[in-house]
Amino acid sequence: MRSDKKSMFGKKSKKHRINITLLVMAMFGVIHLFIFNYLPMFGIVIAFKDMDYKLDIVRALFNSDWVGFDNFKAFLQDRDFFNIMRNTVLLNIIKLIITFPIPILFAIIIADQRSRKFTGIIQTITCFPNFISWVVYGGIVISLFSSSGVINEIFMRIGLYDTAKNFMTEEQYFWWIAIITDVIKGTGWGSVIYISAIAGVDPELYDSAQIDGASRFQRHRYITIPCITGTIVVLLLLAISGILNSNFDQFYILQNDLNSARSEVIDTYVYKLGFSLRRYSYVTAVGLFKSIIAFILLAGSNLVTKKTIGRGIF
Amino acid sequence: MEKVKKKKSLTTFDIVTFILLICFALLCLYPFWYVIVGSLNNGKDYLRGGVNLWPRLFSLDNYIYVFNDSRLWIGFRVSTIRTIIGTITGLLFTATVSYAMSRKDLPCRNIIFWFMLFTMFFGAGMIPYYLVLKLLNLIDTFAVYIIPSLFNVFHMIIIMNYFKDVPSEMHEAAEIDGAKELQIYLKVYLPLAKPVLATVCLWLAVGHWNSYFDSMVYTNSSDLQTLQLFLVKLIKEANLAASDANVALPSNITQSTVVATVRYAAIVISSAPILFVYPFVQKYMGKGIMLGSLKG
């Protein structure tokens, strides 16, 4: 009787008691994010001050004058503004349009293969480049596309042109190179999530569709794609949220003085001017400009997918 | 019978996709083959061009050269130590937070989750972040490689989703046995989460091994440079003037090497650990995604 009462009481009080251990564990993450992600947000004030070229950034934070939106205006009037925005926005949108559907297509082709052993080998090989750093991969790409590289040799041998060409130093090729290398490096790994989503589709759907005489194309169009729409939408929104976060590593490694008109994006620009020229306030304003546009883009596309397909991440 | 049936239904489409997949796989592999071949070729001879499939004038001088560059060894040491320490601490830290976030009885769970999620979509930028590191006295210290990467929201969500799938009876049973929350986490949940922890562990390790940006921006000391930063410098440099291997080596080696082939040798050496480990751990790499990353 007594023990019964105690356990009843104990159970009741437990429900109302705050689980301190869990709270402490979660606070590790909260404090970490507060220091490394939220604290820098206060640093956004740098964008509204005049701290460019100051030697001691910490002291300048308290000593320098407020300048309002001058740094933003300076960016809008900069002669590089058009190039940088075109490279950041347009190239990244083209990249998304090309690199987003390819892993889906790749996953469907993989799912169609009969031999699991074969697809296993293909997946192992195609995922590999993803785990190699952009420094290494970019280093290789620079050699492949240089005037002594194999691409130039092939093109010369089939007679496209006569004198050796260095594709890395001619700006008109940069976008192509950025897109192609993205596809080769990212497709295998990008398809993993779709392959597992397709594996989760009920096989009976395919069987009955086959009995009804659906062609292979029809089966994918009306079964596979609708079944993985949820995955596609979430990944698309995540991709859109990061669309202005150009792949810094890729651009930084592949960039040189001769192709910078096509390869300078906000992130590389902020890095260069911020750390080598010490234009702290100016680049913070540029970075903030990017973050705000990216956030609006995400919220907007989230709204659109929610209205049309009924799914979103928020 | 079965075999005949299979053969019959093999269409042109099957053959086309089969060939396409093989071509794409070769396209993924070839760049790596290209550098390995280049790194094993005599440098002066390489510049004549045409070394694409097999070394023409075999030579190990490029490797000898790069092994005599002290920056390679410093980089190798720094990268190895940061990978080991960074992976272990990051995994434990993130897993601990993930456990708390997976429990329904965590107070203010939703608010905390949104607090965390927001950071995935909005960042303050490089300079404010640098300022915070400066205020924390992390600039130019080894800790700048470890502490900021202790916690990762994306990894947290993946591990959290795995913990959520553990039947709540496990927790109740352990509680009845008198286990405390921390014990339940360490003795019941962590061992159960081995597959997803293995995946995140590999991602963390690859991330640490491949990083150069923090080394480039937040450190100055030459003895804190990571291997990848050494590579960045080698790739961005037009010649080998900055290398101290020039002094240490006899002239017949320094004469026969050029920056391109030395670069290749350095590339091969720095990717070798991933190359050797990858085939064995490859099946764990993708598991985390399949174990339920996309539920939120």
C-alpha–C-alpha distance, residues A231 and B294, integer Å? 7
Q: Are the beta carbons of B122 and A291 separated by less than 8 Å?
A: yes
pLDDT in tens, chain A (314 residues): 344 444 444 444 445 577 889 999 999 999 999 999 999 999 899 999 998 888 888 888 888 889 999 999 999 999 999 999 999 999 999 999 999 999 999 999 998 888 889 999 999 999 999 999 999 999 999 999 998 889 999 999 898 888 888 999 999 999 999 999 999 999 999 998 899 889 888 888 888 888 888 888 888 889 999 989 888 988 888 888 788 887 899 999 999 989 999 999 999 999 999 998 999 999 999 999 998 888 888 888 888 888 887 777 66
Q: Are the beta carbons of A40 and B122 separated by less than 8 Å?
A: no
Tell me what pLDDT residue A314 has.
66
Burial (0-12, 13-18, 19+ Cβ within 10 Å), A227: middle
Tell me what pLDDT residue A87 has.
93
Chains A & B: contacts with CB separation below 8 Å: 252
C-alpha–C-alpha distance, residues B296 and B286, integer Å? 19
Tell me what pLDDT residue A212 has.
87
- Listed as ranges, residues in chain B with pLDDT below 70 are 1-9, 288-296
Q: Which residue in A43, A126, A187 is closest to B127 by CB distance?
A: A43
Q: Are the beta carbons of A135 and B296 separated by less than 8 Å?
A: no
- Can you give the residue ranges of every domain in chain A? 2-48, 72-308
Tell me what pLDDT residue A62 has.
85
Q: Are the beta carbons of B156 and A29 separated by less than 8 Å?
A: yes
SS3 B34: helix
For residue B14, the tally of other CB atoms under 10 A from its CB is 14
Task: Tell me the shortest Cα–Cα distance from A235 to chain B, in angstroms.
Answer: 9
SS3 B49: coil
Task: Tell me the shortest Cα–Cα distance from A79 to chain B, in angstroms.
Answer: 22
Q: Are the beta carbons of B182 and A295 separated by less than 8 Å?
A: no
C-alpha–C-alpha distance, residues B12 and B18, integer Å? 10
ipTM of this complex = 0.90
Please give, one letter per residue, the 3-state secondary structure of A70-114: HHHHHHHHCCCHHHHHHHHHHHHHHHHHHHCHHHHHHHHHHHHCC
All structural domains of chain B: 87-211 (1.10.3720.10)
Task: Tell me the shortest Cα–Cα distance from A226 to chain B, in angstroms.
Answer: 16
The total number of residues shown for chain B amounts to: 296
Tell me what pLDDT residue A5 has.
42
Instruction: Name chain B contacts of A109, Cβ cutoff 8 Å.
Output: 17, 20-21
Tell me what pLDDT residue B159 has.
92
C-alpha–C-alpha distance, residues A101 and A90, integer Å? 18
Tell me what pLDDT residue A240 has.
85
Tell me what pLDDT residue B212 has.
95
SS3 B47: coil
| Residues B220, A259, A134, B245, Cα dihedral to 10° | -50
Superfamily of domain A72-308: MetI-like (1.10.3720.10)
C-alpha–C-alpha distance, residues A238 and A294, integer Å? 11
Q: Which residue in A19, A58, A138 is closest to B105 by CB distance?
A: A19
Tell me what pLDDT residue A196 has.
87
Q: Which residue of B has its CA nearest to A185?
A: B28
Task: Tell me the shortest Cα–Cα distance from A83 to chain B, in angstroms.
Answer: 21
Report the Cα A170 to chain-centroid distance in Å: 26
